[in-house]
Chains A and B, each alone.
Chain A
Amino acid sequence: MSNLAMQSQTNAGPGAPVASLAPPAPVIELENLQVQLGGRPILKGLTASLKGRCIGLLGPNGAGKTTLLHTLLGFYPASGGTARVLGHDIRSQMREVRALLGYMPESDAFIAGLSGVRFVRLMAELSGLPPSQAIERAHESLFYVGLGEARYRTVDSYSLGMKQLAKLAQALVHGPKVLFLDEPTNGLDPPARERMIRLIRDIRDAGDVRVILSSHLLRDVEECCEEVLVLKQGQIAVYCDLEAERRGNKKFLELEIRGEEEGVHASFAAEMEKLGCEVAEGARQRLKLVMPDGVEIRDLYRLAAERQVQIRRLDYKRDSLEDIFLKAMEGSGDGRL
């Protein structure tokens, strides 16, 4: 019960800690980065400077998100332009770049026949940890992600959720400064998803690590990230600061009402329009409205009291990211409602 209360969304934005300091240095700087695969241009000149602690990477399939991550990891060479990760150039200092990175791939990724511990130990040692430290940190990492006794079984025998956790453990074990997470909640059932999101927020807050989260689930990105980079067809469609967006949404409200009479939504909406608000109906019959100056929340309640209507939910518009994304796809790149 108290669990749920704490999960409730406060006005500071879901999951964001109360005070957020602007991080000093950019994590990733892209300078006209171009990448070709099989002769086809996939990334067509990306330029941006990503500064947040947790940055969301969004875009339709084929937009180049995974290619971007893979290029920063050095799996593909850049065909033009360059990029820097925490100041290190990917063209000339790839080894240093890889030493600071932790990567959690989207697809299944493990070594057959090894137990969880051996797997993570091996990964730790390959990142440079001495054997004694590697085994300690492997256990720490496995404990942190929540794999208990299962760590002694082979990874082949793990369920999907556990394999995801194992992937995360190997990404964290060497203490990277930058974490690339590609669809981390893929295939997880609801409690495991919640746990993964909580872990990601933990890592972001406590660990002095910068996180790049690539996902199709806008909700995940909204809960964890402060900035968002949206790619479309190999180019940047929009790069924006979610915090700033959320703060700017004060006058945009979402209402969920319940009443006895038929057509209560329509009539309530009509009354609000008479007051001067712009009203639109969203999913689940929720009403989205913009209140002009002079109209207060109090007025909404007066209406509700008169009509014996329950205002079951009154909240600031929370799907700013969805709007930003859809706008970006249409090509306007602005991102506001």
Chain B
Amino acid sequence: MAVYERNYARYSGPVTPERTRYLILPRYAYEAVFKSRLFVGFLALCFGPPFVGLLIIYLYHNASALQLLGLTPEKLAEMFPISNKFFYTGLWIQGALGFLLALFVGPSLVAPDLRNNGLPLYLSRPFTRTEYVLGKMSVLVILLSAITWVPGMLLILLQGYLEGAGWLARNWRLGFAVFVGSWVWILYLSLFALAVSAWMKWKPVARITMALLFFVLGGFGAALRGILGTPWGLLISTWSVIDAVWNSLFGLLPGDETPPVGPSWFVLAGGCAIFLWLLSRRIRAYEVVR
């Protein structure tokens, strides 16, 4: 009695390897997010500072170009010394841009799945909650990596290449700092954005929450610092905390405005743990209502 010409048929073709299935999520997310011209523009902008960094490094090693600009090597070295401070500043800028990126992309990661009870559909397949979180994190991790340590490492390699033998060996700590510093920020930021997205249904609300948490806590941190008189008060300000970590990685002396390093690492790790816990509360197949 069926009117349908094509009948239901089982699938007996090849299947994709299970280990990389979580990457399906970033692929779908990118299909959607890259449609926004605003986003593409912003992403292009994020490559601006590394590009400037590239130019500077290039200028160091290209006298004729320098002359064209009317600069001398000494002047250049005065303006942009290629030291740990140089890369630290780069990371700082990219970190800030990364925050804006997370603000843009983050809220739409988990909320659409939760809003209409989509999780059971994911989890009724051979797909675990861990893979889900990993997949969603990857959306941000990949983008953030692309604007932080990837250009950072490339610049270091470039500098090493142009400077010649030995520079890299002497300055391996720079590479290490860029890499680890980026990853700490990436992990923290991604988990933060995911947790907010899991708990806030609407994108504008999520974005405001993220921004508020950031800046308000930052404000409180500064206030506490003033009241208590010690830098420990700054531990509740995310920005100060990550700054402290970066400073220590790059071997720079922290100013008065940075909290102590050890506790800062602890705060970051603790934050990630809290975000993971918040995620696990929301990412489930069914809520037990009682």
Contacts and interface: CB of A to CB of B under 8 A. Distances in A.
Contact of A207 (B10, B14, B15, B116): B10
A108 B116 contact: yes
A3 to B, nearest CB: 9
B116 A110 contact: yes
Q: Which of B14, B24, B122, B290 has the most CB of A within 10 A?
A: B24
B18 interface: yes
Given A123-B121, A125-B24, A175 B9 contact: yes
Contact of B126 (A98, A107, A140): A98
Contacts of A129: 11, 13, 15-16
Nearest to A73: B124
A45 interface: no
Contacts, number: 129
Nearest to B5: A143
A18 interface: no
Interface residues of A, number: 51
Interface in A248-272: none
Contact of A112 (B6, B9, B116): B116
Interface in A61-93: 70, 73-76
A261 B248 CA distance: 102
A202 B2 contact: yes
A126 B125 contact: yes
Interface string A125-160: 111111001000100100110000000000010000
Contact of A125 (B11, B16, B18, B32): B16
B15 A130 contact: yes
Contacts of A53: none
A111 B124 contact: no
B21 A112 contact: no
Contacts of A114: 112
Contact of A95 (B2, B12, B126): B126
B10 A113 contact: no
B104 to A, nearest CB: 15
Contacts of B31: 118
A209 B112 contact: no
A75 B127 CA distance: 12
Interface in A89-110: 95-96, 98-99, 101-103, 105, 107-110
B15 A144 contact: no
B93 interface: no
A126 B28 CA distance: 11
Interface string B271-290: 00000000000001110101
B36 interface: no
A315 interface: no
B16 A128 contact: yes
A174 interface: yes
A22 interface: no
Contacts of A110: 116-118, 121
Contacts of B111: 112
B9 A111 contact: no
Contacts of A198: 1-2
Given A70-B286, A128-B15, A198-B1, A98 B6 contact: no
28 contacts: A38-B290, A73-B123, A75-B123, A95-B126, A96-B126, A102-B124, A105-B117, A107-B117, A108-B117, A109-B118, A110-B118, A110-B121, A118-B31, A126-B122, A128-B18, A130-B16, A133-B13, A137-B11, A143-B4, A143-B6, A144-B4, A144-B8, A172-B8, A174-B11, A175-B9, A202-B4, A207-B9, A209-B10
Interface of B: 1-2, 4, 6-16, 18, 21, 24, 28, 31-32, 108, 111-113, 115-118, 120-127, 284-286, 288, 290
Interface of A: 6, 37-38, 70, 73-76, 95-96, 98-99, 101-103, 105, 107-114, 118, 122-123, 125-130, 133, 137, 140, 143-144, 156, 170, 172, 174-175, 177, 198, 202-203, 206-209
Given A111-B121, A127-B125, A206-B8, 8 more contacts: A99-B126, A108-B117, A109-B117, A128-B21, A140-B6, A143-B4, A175-B12, A202-B8
